[in-house]
Amino acid sequence: MATSPHDVKEIQEIDHHEITEDHKDPLDIAKAPVLKSSFDELTPWETAKTFKKAVFVCFMLCVAAAADGYQINLNGNIIANPGFVQQVGYLDPATGKYALNPQHTALWGALQSLGQLIGMVLLNPISDKIGRKMTLYVLWVILLGSILIETFTKNFQHWAGAKLLAGVGIGSLQATLPIYIAEWSPVNIRGTLCGTTVMYAVVNNVGSFLAPLVLTVVKGKDVNEWKIPVLTQWAFLGIMLPIFWWLPETASYYAARDQHDRGIAVLRRVNGGVPGYDPEAEYEVVKNIILEERERQAAAGVDYQNWRQILRSYGECFQGCNWKRTIAASLPASIQQLTGLAFLSVYSSLFFRELGFTDAFEITSIIFGVKIGAVLVVCLTTDKLGRRIPIISFGVVCLLMLLIIGILGHVEKNQATKIVLILAVCVWSCTSVGLGALGWALPGEVPNQKLRARTSGLGSAIAVCFGLTFNTATPIMLQTNGANLGYDTAWIFLGFGTLVTILAVFLLPETAQRNPAELDEMYENGVPAWRMKKYVTEVQKAQAARRGQTIQ
């Protein structure tokens, strides 16, 4: 979305005195490469109405996110099903009943998180080599293998293998989806479209809600039935494939590969019907941003064309100003993990069951229902309120709820205590889902174009490492035949969550309504994260110069 060639002629007619600039001549600024589209000046609502098809492209990919939420939460909730326990558990001689080995439940959680880590990090170079669209086909095949194994599971080893493959597929989806949407969504509504905001978050949480809901419905007919919920995953897989087939490749990928004709063609396919839209001029914005990054990398002697350089590029993610971008990409999802995601969401049914609630599935379903409403509010306001302040605020609220839950562990248990506990978990769920909604957006927004896949994967992988740790430890903490910490588990998450929330205050940038060129400039100029929201970039000044406007 760029300025048309006709606008370039008007540059010569700009009155030098109309633009205030301390360091550069206004005409020089105006002659700079076009790095910002004229469509970026539209309001979010105007942008959404103008680029309907681009919005629809992002929406269709996000429909696949339902499989993500469904897979993860099915794993966390099905372990409370008596039939599943009998299938993969062991007969406890002391009680004469079947039970799950805490080591096995910890292994399943660990393998799924390990798989996510593999999918996020190792499949990213594949994404850069074969494209975002082909990567979607790869992850679909991986998820196919996972569900196939789950369908014929006979023991805990089979389930462990399925969880590893599920993690790889989901990790690849979580790493690829924010990149794809960040490269397709208009800047002014990127927060609503990107990562897990309105589209990804809503559909993901619908999938998360369906997992305990299906288990609850099935339980009403046969308390030991667990196969039907597993088989329902085939429906999600069947929906994903035709969506992946229809989706276009991104113009940014074609520009990075110097396939300019294809890049222009794909922009024309998606946005060609927009009034006043010039695919060639808009493609120039995409190409210019990539060329600017290439020039900086060439000056530094960096080339990512072979596998040795690809491996070196991961190191580049932690050098210079890039380390701040990598950590920033990881912070929202890390806050979500370290403020009790495994404790109060992934293993919520186990949490409530072990603490004496008679209908853990019903409570879990209520909490997920609350999340749907919360994520709609969060996501529809993110482009207006931004990312930084909401994320930090959500982290603080999660910490307060963990404090309340920890205190309840040392209070006499009665009906009032249970009500307060449920309310605390509901409030925690609302704010945690806000972190999730914004947490997967940052990996698609913060990185520069050339390192986007690597930074996105690494940032997400850092959060997944925390998930790997606590998905392994939390079942052992909660189960009565494990550590049996109960409510005291909250204190562990309270400590770690406080540290990472404080880190976010210093490193989390404001990315709302900023394009990649603006973020590159601010990071290279060493602008502190807390000052980025009001910082006026050279890109903004150049855009103003082309319009004959004054900007301070």
With contact defined as beta carbons under 8 Å apart, do 352 and 486 qualify?
A: no
Output the pLDDT for position 228: 84
As given in the structure block, the two tokens for residue 492 are 């562990």
| pLDDT tens digits for range 21-72 | 344 454 454 455 655 666 666 666 777 778 888 888 888 887 776 666 676 6
With contact defined as beta carbons under 8 Å apart, do 313 and 304 qualify?
A: yes
As given in the structure block, the two tokens for residue 159 are 């389930």
Residue 469, CB-side half-sphere exposure with 13 Å CA sphere: 13
| pLDDT tens digits for range 258-271 | 898 998 999 999 88
Residue 208 has pLDDT above 60, yes or no: yes
DSSP string, 24-68: S-HHHHHTS---S-GGGGS-HHHHHHHTHHHHHHHHHHHHTHHHH
User: Which SS3 state, helix, strand or coil, does residue 432 take?
Assistant: helix
Output the pLDDT for position 429: 84
With contact defined as beta carbons under 8 Å apart, do 178 and 443 qualify?
A: yes
Residue 210 has pLDDT above 80, yes or no: no
Write the CB contacts of 319 (distance below 8 Å, at least 6 apart in sequence).
none
Residue 334 has pLDDT above 50, yes or no: yes
pLDDT (average), residues 85-96: 81
As given in the structure block, the two tokens for residue 260 are 């300019």
Residue 453 — pLDDT band, cuts 50, 70, 90? low
For residue 97, list its beta bridge partners. Answer: 92
**Could you give the C-alpha distances from 505 to 388, 459, 531, in angstroms and in order?**
8, 17, 11
* C-alpha–C-alpha distance, residues 457 and 326, integer Å: 9
| pLDDT tens digits for range 459-512 | 777 887 887 788 778 777 776 666 667 678 889 999 999 999 999 999 998 887
Secondary structure of 161-194 in HEC code, one letter for each residue: HHHHHHHHHHHHHHHHHHHHHHHHCCHHHHHHHC
Q: What domains are there in the chain, each with its CATH number?
A: 41-247 (1.20.1250.20), 249-299 (no CATH), 320-513 (1.20.1250.20)
With contact defined as beta carbons under 8 Å apart, do 453 and 179 qualify?
A: yes
Which of 179-188, 190-199, 251-260 reaches the highest mean pLDDT?
251-260
Q: Which of 128-132, 181-185, 214-218, 436-440 has the lowest mean pLDDT?
A: 436-440
Give the length of the chain.
Answer: 552
pLDDT (average), residues 1-6: 40
Residue 423 has pLDDT above 90, yes or no: no
With contact defined as beta carbons under 8 Å apart, do 518 and 540 qualify?
A: yes
With contact defined as beta carbons under 8 Å apart, do 111 and 160 qualify?
A: yes
Which of 64-73, 275-284, 350-359 reaches the highest mean pLDDT?
275-284
pLDDT (average), residues 105-117: 81
Output the pLDDT for position 161: 92
Residue 202 has pLDDT above 80, yes or no: no
Which of 163-167, 394-398, 406-410 reaches the highest mean pLDDT?
394-398
pLDDT (average), residues 420-430: 84
Secondary structure of 462-516 in HEC code, one letter for each residue: HHHHHHHHHHHHHHHHHCCCCCCCHHHHHHHHHHHHHHHHHHHHHHCCCCCCCCH
Residue written as token pair 């060609």: 272
* C-alpha–C-alpha distance, residues 254 and 245, integer Å: 18
Q: Which of 33-47, 309-323, 442-456 has the lowest mean pLDDT?
A: 33-47
Greater model confidence, 330 or 79: 330
Which of 106-110, 190-194, 235-239 reaches the highest mean pLDDT?
235-239
Output the pLDDT for position 10: 37
As given in the structure block, the two tokens for residue 1 are 């979305």
With contact defined as beta carbons under 8 Å apart, do 192 and 380 qualify?
A: yes
* C-alpha–C-alpha distance, residues 290 and 281, integer Å: 15
Identity of residue 112:
Q
**Could you give the C-alpha distances from 379 to 61, 183, 376, 390, 531, in angstroms and in order?**
17, 19, 5, 11, 23
In this structure, the number of other CB atoms found within 10 A of the CB of residue 86 comes to: 15
Residue 9 has pLDDT above 90, yes or no: no
With contact defined as beta carbons under 8 Å apart, do 120 and 464 qualify?
A: yes
Output the pLDDT for position 34: 59
* C-alpha–C-alpha distance, residues 174 and 177, integer Å: 6
pLDDT (average), residues 191-200: 51
Which of 103-107, 236-240, 369-373 reaches the highest mean pLDDT?
236-240
Output the pLDDT for position 482: 60
Q: What is the DSSP letter of 249?
A: P
| pLDDT tens digits for range 124-145 | 677 778 888 898 899 899 989 9
Output the pLDDT for position 11: 34
DSSP string, 329-369: HHHHHHHHHHTTHIIIIITHHHHHHHTT-S-HHHHHHHHHH
User: Which SS3 state, helix, strand or coil, does residue 90 take?
Assistant: strand
Residue 6 has pLDDT above 50, yes or no: no
* C-alpha–C-alpha distance, residues 171 and 36, integer Å: 32
pLDDT averaged over every residue in the chain: 76
The distance from CA 55 to its chain's CA centroid, rounded to whole angstroms, is 18
Output the pLDDT for position 285: 80
pLDDT (average), residues 223-234: 81
Q: Which of 293-302, 332-341, 442-451, 498-507 has the lowest mean pLDDT?
A: 293-302
Residue 305 has pLDDT above 60, yes or no: no
Alpha helices (H) in 51-131, listed in sequence order: 52-63, 65-78, 82-88, 102-122, 124-130
Determine what percent of the chain is predicted with pLDDT higher than 90: 10
Residue written as token pair 């210093």: 506
Determine what percent of the chain is predicted with pLDDT higher than 70: 73
Write the CB contacts of 252 (distance below 8 Å, at least 6 apart in sequence).
183, 286, 290, 449
pLDDT (average), residues 366-380: 72
End-to-end CA distance of the chain: 24
Output the pLDDT for position 535: 82
Residue 399 has pLDDT above 90, yes or no: yes
Residue 194 has pLDDT above 60, yes or no: no
* C-alpha–C-alpha distance, residues 390 and 378, integer Å: 9
Output the pLDDT for position 403: 93
Residue 347 has pLDDT above 50, yes or no: yes
Residue 439, CB-side half-sphere exposure with 13 Å CA sphere: 30
Residue 185 has pLDDT above 80, yes or no: no
pLDDT (average), residues 251-263: 88
pLDDT (average), residues 307-312: 68
Residue 226 has pLDDT above 70, yes or no: yes
Residue written as token pair 């600039």: 21
pLDDT (average), residues 280-290: 83
Output the pLDDT for position 5: 39
* C-alpha–C-alpha distance, residues 285 and 262, integer Å: 15
Residue 1 has pLDDT above 50, yes or no: no
pLDDT (average), residues 98-110: 81
Output the pLDDT for position 346: 62
As given in the structure block, the two tokens for residue 278 are 């010039």
Alpha helices (H) in 300-445, listed in sequence order: 307-316, 322-338, 341, 348-354, 360-385, 388-408, 415-439, 442-445
